Amino acid sequence: MQKEFTVKNPMGIHARPAGEIVKKASSFPCKISFLVDDKKINAKSIVGVLAAGLHHGDTVTVVTDGEKEEEALNEIGALIESILE
């Protein structure tokens, strides 16, 4: 499954939001990755999420595969769009 989400945090995805995303992604048994500028990034890797360099207004495609993939897609996407600080 995959779906696009937009980063709404004016500060982008820096260390603290990236940590929240990795923590949430790691709570699911399925594979979760981000597609950003033709790069596939492991959403369970803090280094990978930070290296994506996501800024306010960027779109990220969340891709999930495996057990609880729909739940993971919805929760990770909601988290990406709800982080505002």
Active site residues: 14
Rounded Cα–Cα distance for residues 44 and 33 (Å)? 8
As a whole number of Å, the end-to-end CA separation of the chain is: 29
2 three-class SS: strand
